[in-house]
Amino acid sequence: MTFIRLKADEREEYLSTKKATIFEHLLVPEHVLLKQEDVERVLKKFRIKPYQLPKIRASDPAARAIDAAPGDLIKVIRKSPTAGEAVSYRYVVEG
């Protein structure tokens, strides 16, 4: 791993260009922003309202990386040694 020491103004520019690299980390699952028709399908399938889902803050690094806004629904896909793939959903809230 390489560490870089940057000045304050360079740091902001560096961080803004490295926006999507959070998903390159081994422990960060894939996050997908759902379209409105997919949101309706998921809510109908589970017979729930959005506020009944687990929440994720809009300020979460993964939510920020996919430009999620409060009110959006995110599909989280984790690799699982037993199930192969585990899918969950998160409702984006302010914060």
**Sign of the CA dihedral running 68, 69, 70, 71:** negative
Residues 6+ apart with CB under 8 A from 38: 73, 75
> Is 25-93 assigned to CATH 3.90.940.20?
yes
Instruction: Give dist(CA 4, CA 47) in Å, integer.
Output: 49
17 or 22, which is more confident: 22
Q: What is the amino acid identity at position 39? A: V
pLDDT mean over 70-87: 94
Does 2 have pLDDT greater than 70? no
